[in-house]
Structure 1
Amino acid sequence: METNAHLEDAALIGERQAAARALMSRPLLAQRTHPVEFSLVRAHAEWLVQRFQRVLGYRLTVADDHARLVKRGLVDEVVSPTGRATGVRFTPRTHTYLALALAVLVEGTGPTTARTLAAKVRSAAREAGIDADPARGLGERRAYCAALSHLVGLGVLAETSGTVRAHQADPAADASLTPDTEALRSVAAHLPRAGDTPDSFLADAADPDPESDQAGEVALRRLLAETAVVYREHLSDRQRDRLAAHQWRAAAALGNLLGCDTEIRAEGVALVMPDEAAATPRFPSDDPVGHTALALVRHLSGRLHPGRPATSVPVPDRELTTALEILGGSDAPVRADWARTAGPEIPDPERLSALVLELLTGLGLLTGGPGAWELTAAAARFGADADERVPLIQDNDEDSRTHPTQPRGSGQDETEGGAAPQADPRGDLDRVASVLQAVANEKVSATSGDTGDDRGPRNNSG
């Protein structure tokens, strides 16, 4: 039987890109917790090491039982808050126990137990001048066990007998734990130096606007790969010009590495992953929070649609709270439908609203806060369908669209009453013609196979 070389190549490329996406979503990938993804990384380690370094400047280390992708150059974009399985963020106390447990475990050489480890953590805390004792009450033990559960979830600490959860409920329950010392040493990728302060440590880790063209292009690729949408309006002048000139080259390089598509619009650029449904958090989703969030996004997109290109549009607080009450409040008909299913827990109306806003702000579909909420342009990709049950909050035009204030990035500078504050100070949308010309020029090199990794004669970047 003859083999099809084209299909073999396509399968090989698909495996490499799936492995790269797995590392981007889980920078510490353990064989114990993700055996399928780790086997792909091991099989294509050499290619992945080279491509991550050349395209994003990330360092990848592949060991016998784990892989660690060390990201750099971004802080807010790549660092998500550490939290419990329920989604609740770690408290400072839990972070303290996580650091102390890591400090003890990386020096260990064999199996231990939850109670033995707690004693060592207490001793390490005393040596460091920290008031922490896992045996001192339920609150301390919960924080300590949350830290251990996080390490178990990462695959660097195994429960061989009993569970950490059981020890949290009963201090007499002593779970047997087996640490993976090498993987534990990879949990903290960037350790602070002795003279670092929190501000200096974060400042050294981030450089969003490098001076050199080569470093600037790498920074743009990182930004595109790590954020849902990159809006031109939010970039510095130098980075906006680089994006306009090299956006198709960046799209080709990231598409080759991650197997993603790229949407390039006047407002900004977004990557669309082929396995987007497996992303965390999942959106859209069928649980009450995801259902309400999707309905809210569609309603606001239909009700507040500016009718012209805009990076974002303001959302009146009253419009937002009224819509949340109609869509998921105590009298919402959908609550009865949720109650008839064997689905997840249904949050009370106040908590549901908070979870919906947290989800949408985390996804970048809503920005700001009370009194300054804004719906971003990316929200329109999920549809625009105003819910007629939500009463109109402001005067509407003949198209039934609400225009609370001038949308950001609309390009309009004047109103009937005189000169309004300039919504687009850099003239982003007025320069669409030049952007499209740059797109036309760069698209030729992108479609011809230029992934942007080699230094070209037209510029000094890579």
Structure 2
Amino acid sequence: MEQHEYATVPGVGLGSAAGGRGAGAGQLSAAVRADVRACGRLAERLAAADAATADELFAAAFGLYGARHLGGTAGAEAAGVSWWHGPTVRVPGPRRAGRGARRAGRAAGAELVLAAPTGGRGRHRKPEQAPASTPHAVAVERRTAARLLVAHPLVTAAGPHGAGLQLIRRHADWLAERFLAVLGYPLTVGDSFARLHKAGLPGRGLPGFGPAEYAALVRALAEFAAGGAAEVEQPLVRQQLAEWRVLTEQGADPELARALGPLGAPVAQTPALAVRRRLAETPVVLQDELTAPERSWLLGREAGEAALFADFLGLEAEIRAEGLALLDPAGELTDLAAPAEGGTLAQAALLLVERLVEELRPLPEEAAPPAVLIPDALIDGALGDVTDEYGAGWSRDYLADLAGFRRDALELLRRMDLIAPAGRAWVLRAPAARYASPLEVDSGPGPGRHSRREVPIG
């Protein structure tokens, strides 16, 4: 079995890094037995943790989350301008529910650009079948393979993105060197899988998993890695193992279970790695959220980092006064698939954030903070307004549970870095303004705190 091992990092892996080409069967078995015990300790920690801590522990140990980027671009003229006052990326949105809309003259809401569903047809899911023969074609292949790994850090031959495995294997050496140099991420490539080992990020656990499910999943992986036959009772755990192709109708795959073991990327030891990981994985990086060494390192390097990620991952930079966002014009590099067109939650979230920006963004002559506090009553009022105006065709389940509707809409905006928790309150972050109405401020009377008038797009 051909298997490339490009980096050995400290952790509690299930033998993938310990058992490279030169490892004998006895050495590998001993490593697996030791790691099974280590995984047992990890499972105990997960089982005893609260939900948030379990999410963080799992993400740090496994790093199996996808990247998360916004889509759409505001143009080069936005460079260095505050998100609050710069160009926007609005497109036509939902129609109003009826004649009683109180702002009948306004344009429809914006569309929040997320990802195409993961099973769809994306550029990184259509690799070339024949090896590239020109430098340009080689570069395109490498970028396609890198994008696939960033979006899906586990690619299996039998999985939904299996067609890309041939491309990853073709460029395995280059990919391993670049991921390690740029992000400090080890890469493991076997005959039937490729596995990128990411660093932990808050809030990047598995959907629906709690401490008990995480513990059961780790124990099952450890047993399968050792060649055992674990009893997996929780349906959610079985579903995840099947999705990873560790568990099939023919039984468990020990080699893949070992490759999937907890072997997260090492903690970033330099400001460069810390900043680049955030740029590669998160929607927005604000200057005030970086440490002093990280801010100092990034200052003056924005354009260079933008060029690096454009070449490596095909991302486009939006450099604003408050920070930097790497955008994916293809809408693929995000682990949040947009609901179907017209989906209630996506529509409500983008309309809500537009209304919040209208009420809270500073005037052009005012200071432009990275975030502003949202009065709690404003959230309820704005969500009520957009529901009255647009909600005729929305999900009845949501309309019957306004508290749940509010919670889920705010959570979607949080995951896209457009709002952030502040104790029991929320703050509206400057990048949210990219989804609001472009406007000019005039001195005449008009709706809204800014007495603004609409500026037509295009």
- Which range, TM-score by smaller chain? 0.5 to 0.7
CA deviation after TM superposition for structure 1 residue 275, in Å = 2.4
Change (3 A) 1:397 1:252: closer
Corresponding residue to 2:172 among 20, 23, 45 = 45
For 2:400 and 2:306, the matched residues in 1 are separated by: 40
**Structure-1 residue corresponding to 2:417:** 364
Q: Give structure 2 stretches of 5+ with no counterpart.
A: 1-131, 440-446, 454-458
CA deviation after TM superposition for structure 1 residue 47, in Å = 1.6
Give 3-state SS (helix, strand or coil) of 1:359's partner.
helix
Change (3 A) 1:7 1:348: farther
Corresponding residue to 1:337 among 393, 396, 400 = 393
Q: Give structure 1 stretches of 5+ with no counterpart.
A: 1-5, 84-88, 122-133, 135-143, 161-176, 192-203, 387-393, 401-462
Q: State, as a whole percentage, how many aligned pairs show the same letter.
A: 32
For 1:151 and 1:93, the matched residues in 2 are separated by: 15
Alignment size in residue pairs: 311
For 1:248 and 1:348, the matched residues in 2 are separated by: 46
The equivalences for 1:280-319 within 5 A come to: 280-283=335-338, 286=341, 287-308=343-364, 309-319=368-378
TM-score, length-normalised on structure 2? 0.61
CA contact (8 A) 1:101 1:148 kept: no
CA contact (8 A) 2:151 2:332 kept: no
For 1:284 and 1:249, the matched residues in 2 are separated by: 35
Corresponding residue to 1:105 among 203, 219, 224 = 224
**Structure-2 residue corresponding to 1:76:** 201
CA deviation after TM superposition for structure 1 residue 318, in Å = 0.5
CA deviation after TM superposition for structure 1 residue 238, in Å = 1.7
Change (3 A) 1:371 1:23: same
Change (3 A) 1:395 1:25: closer
Post-superposition CA distance 1:191-236 (Å, at most 9, x none): 8xxxxxxxxxxxx9544xx4xxxx3222221121122111111112
**Counterpart check, 1:157 vs 2:251:** no
For 1:268 and 1:234, the matched residues in 2 are separated by: 9
For 1:145 and 1:15, the matched residues in 2 are separated by: 38
**Structure-1 residue corresponding to 2:191:** 64
**Counterpart check, 1:322 vs 2:381:** yes
Change (3 A) 1:39 1:27: same
Corresponding residue to 2:285 among 224, 230, 235 = 230
CA contact (8 A) 1:30 1:156 kept: no
CA deviation after TM superposition for structure 1 residue 319, in Å = 0.6
For 2:236 and 2:312, the matched residues in 1 are separated by: 35
CA deviation after TM superposition for structure 1 residue 351, in Å = 1.9
CA deviation after TM superposition for structure 1 residue 95, in Å = 1.4
The equivalences for 1:2-401 within 5 A come to: 8-33=134-159, 34-72=161-199, 75-76=200-201, 80-83=204-207, 89-108=208-227, 117-118=230-231, 134=233, 144-158=234-248, 160=249, 177-190=250-263, 206-207=267-268, 210=269, 215-277=270-332, 279-283=334-338, 286=341, 287-308=343-364, 309-328=368-387, 332=388, 334-338=390-394, 348-369=401-422, 371-384=424-437, 396=449, 398-399=451-452
CA deviation after TM superposition for structure 1 residue 11, in Å = 3.5
CA deviation after TM superposition for structure 1 residue 283, in Å = 4.8
For 2:312 and 2:332, the matched residues in 1 are separated by: 19
For 2:198 and 2:322, the matched residues in 1 are separated by: 27
For 1:7 and 1:374, the matched residues in 2 are separated by: 51
Change (3 A) 1:229 1:152: same
Change (3 A) 1:108 1:372: same
For 1:219 and 1:181, the matched residues in 2 are separated by: 33
**Structure-2 residue corresponding to 1:198:** none
Give 3-state SS (helix, strand or coil) of 1:368's partner.
strand
CA contact (8 A) 1:317 1:371 kept: no
Give 3-state SS (helix, strand or coil) of 2:357's partner.
helix
Post-superposition CA distance 1:6-39 (Å, at most 9, x none): 9954443222212111111221221211212323
TM-score, length-normalised on structure 1? 0.61
**Structure-1 residue corresponding to 2:19:** none
CA contact (8 A) 1:224 1:230 kept: yes
For 1:41 and 1:152, the matched residues in 2 are separated by: 22
CA deviation after TM superposition for structure 1 residue 289, in Å = 0.9
Give 3-state SS (helix, strand or coil) of 2:369's partner.
coil
Q: Which amino acid aligns with 2:323?
A: G
CA contact (8 A) 1:303 1:385 kept: no
